Amino acid sequence: MSEKSYAHASNPCRQCTPLGASWAFKGIENCMSVLHGSQGCATYIRRYMISHFREPIDIASSSFDETTVIFGGEQNLEKAILNVAQQYNPSVIGIGTTCLSETIGDDVDRIIITLKKKYPDLCPLIPVSTPSYQGTQEEGFLRTVSAAVQALAGKYEFLGDKEADKSAEGAINLFTPMISPADMRWIKNVMEDLDMNYTLLPDYSETLDGGMWSDYHAMPPGGTPMERIISMDQGEASLELGSAYPDEWRPGYYLQKRFGVPNSRCGLPVGIDETDRFLTILSEISGKEIPRAYGKARSRLIDAYSDAHKYLYGKKVVIFGDTSTVEALYRLVSEIGMDPVLCFTGSPTGILPKTIERIPQPEASTEPPLIKENFDFGDAESLIEELQPDLMIGNSKGYKISRKTGIPLLRMGFPVHDRFGAARLRMLGYEGSAQLLDRIVNVVMEEKQSKSKVGYTYI
Ligand code: SF4
């Protein structure tokens, strides 16, 4: 399915795999990340995450030099882990690999086993293999959530003298792909409105979008407690949100196979259909009615769809970014009467074409959209010039094309570093979809006004 080899990417539509790992580790309480490789990788990732979330981000590095590259990085990793354990006193340390450590073939799993024997009092370590020449930030994120569950679920020995978290028994295990902290807070509100016992992993709703501190915290408060992840084997059910990812990236699949916890999946709850589906699954699992307020929000969204129809029907749109985000946006623009002419992602997994092909063709489309994966902005530019869409929806990396072609870009996904408020961008649920719809309509209206010879008057 891949369009071409990674070697030829020109301005790729993806960031690096350990970036996703570092992001997911931010959703575990008191977890500190170490990247096994050169310092530049940690710096690049910190820079990207800070410019998107506008929060302080600490990521340690095993800090390779020339000798490490030749003789291996075991000693460096040991030193990095011990330093981090001493300076941060974390509950968990997450270790992501980089291109360099993967290329020289460091066996991090073996190094971790040796370290645990040597230092039995060390906190739990979660290694995850994240070579960037093989994946994207999305893959790194999902692999890390899965690795955290595999490393911790059912491992009660990590609790030491502490009691197991009994409150986690019978909880629903909820897993999300990369969404904004504000959308994550919406998911938590839904679970609270339904009075459901849940464990959300990861939970970076506070760590990547927190309040002001009066005292400095080496690790921001918030995140899924390790004890809750350990007790996931006792969950009543799991629910995975996002696209149909490979089994090995899916923590719910693992919990089902290893511990018999029933698992369900639905796409990100964006738009009417997928939000209905999400709420129905929760209602079935919990046996509880969806509160009336949700029905009212749904009704308002349908009303907004009909109000927006005259502005949006048949407008051509290009969507790009991570698989789950592109899938969710595709469903939404189809519901609101737009014509998605091109969907692309930097991910090379084959998931996006299969997913979009299964969704009924939008009413406004005269032909199926072009779906490209392992795609870069170099290729996208000529295609977009040819397709002449009315709008592009995706991350800030599309800015150059937008500037060159004059096609407006609505920023969603990751990274959004040339606009403010990325951590609070909403698209999940009826309200989030309505907020995104408002933004789409306003971009289309603004574009029409700015291109009009007579401007705009209101009598
Ligand atoms: S070398 Fe690899 S892991 Fe490091 S920043 Fe570059 S792509 Fe990411």
pLDDT in tens, 363-392: 888 899 999 999 999 999 999 999 999 999
pLDDT at residue 4 tops 90: no
Q: Which domains does the chain have, with CATH numbers?
A: 10-159 (3.40.50.1980), 166-286 (3.40.50.1980), 293-451 (3.40.50.1980)
Share of the chain above pLDDT 70, in %: 98
CA of 54 to the centre of ligand 1 (A): 21
Q: Which atom of ligand 1 is nearest to the CA of 18?
A: 3
Q: Which two tokens stand for residue 392?
A: 């592009």
CA of 326 to the centre of ligand 1 (A): 24
Query: What's phi and psi for 93, nearest 5 deg?
Result: -120, 125
- What 3-state class would DSSP assign to 174? strand
What pLDDT score was predicted for residue 70? 87
- pLDDT, tens digit, for every residue of 150-188? 999 999 999 988 888 888 889 999 999 999 999 999 999
What pLDDT score was predicted for residue 3? 47
Q: Which two tokens stand for residue 17?
A: 């795999």
What pLDDT score was predicted for residue 6? 53
pLDDT at residue 359 tops 50: yes
How much is the average pLDDT of 83-104? 96
326 near 320, Cβ under 8 Å?
A: yes
Residue (of 252, 249, 254) closest to 263 by Cα position: 252
Lowest pLDDT segment from 16-25, 157-166, 238-247, 425-434: 157-166
Q: Specify the residue for token string 């408002």.
A: 438
- Residues having CB closer than 6 A to ligand 1 are 16, 18, 41, 44, 98-99, 132
Average pLDDT of the residues of the chain: 94
CA of 156 to the centre of ligand 1 (A): 35
Among protein residues, the one with the nearest Cα to ligand 1's atom 3 is 98
Among protein residues, the one with the nearest Cα to ligand 1's atom 5 is 41
The β-bridge relationship of strands 237-241 and 172-175 is parallel
415 upstream amide cis, omega within 30 of 0: yes
pTM for the whole thing? Answer: 0.96
Among protein residues, the one with the nearest Cα to ligand 1's atom 1 is 99
Where are the alpha helices (H) located in 336-428, listed in sequence order? Answer: 351-358, 377-387, 399-405
CA 134 to CA 191: how far, in whole Å?
36
pLDDT at residue 7 tops 70: no
How much is the average pLDDT of 222-227? 97
List the strands of the sheet with 31-36, edge to edge.
60-61, 31-36, 92-97, 125-128
Q: Which atom of ligand 1 is nearest to the CA of 45?
A: 5
pLDDT at residue 435 tops 90: yes
pLDDT at residue 207 tops 80: yes
pLDDT at residue 1 tops 80: no
How much is the average pLDDT of 313-322? 97
Among protein residues, the one with the nearest Cα to ligand 1's atom 4 is 41
Could you tell me how far CA 60 lies from the centroid of its own chain? 21
CA angle 451, 411, 429 (to 5 degrees): 115
Where are the alpha helices (H) located in 196-269, listed in sequence order? Answer: 226-230, 251-259
Which amino acid is present at 300?
R
CA of 17 to the centre of ligand 1 (A): 8
Query: What's phi and psi for 453, nearest 5 deg?
Result: -70, -30
pLDDT at residue 2 tops 50: no
Q: Which atom of ligand 1 is nearest to the CA of 35?
A: 3
- Under the banding of pLDDT at 50, 70 and 90, the label for residue 41 is very high
The β-bridge relationship of strands 339-344 and 316-320 is parallel
- What 3-state class would DSSP assign to 12? strand
The residue whose CB lies within 8 Å of the most ligand 1 atoms, and thus the one to mutate among 23, 49, 99, is 99
The residue whose CB lies within 8 Å of the most ligand 1 atoms, and thus the one to mutate among 17, 41, 138, is 41
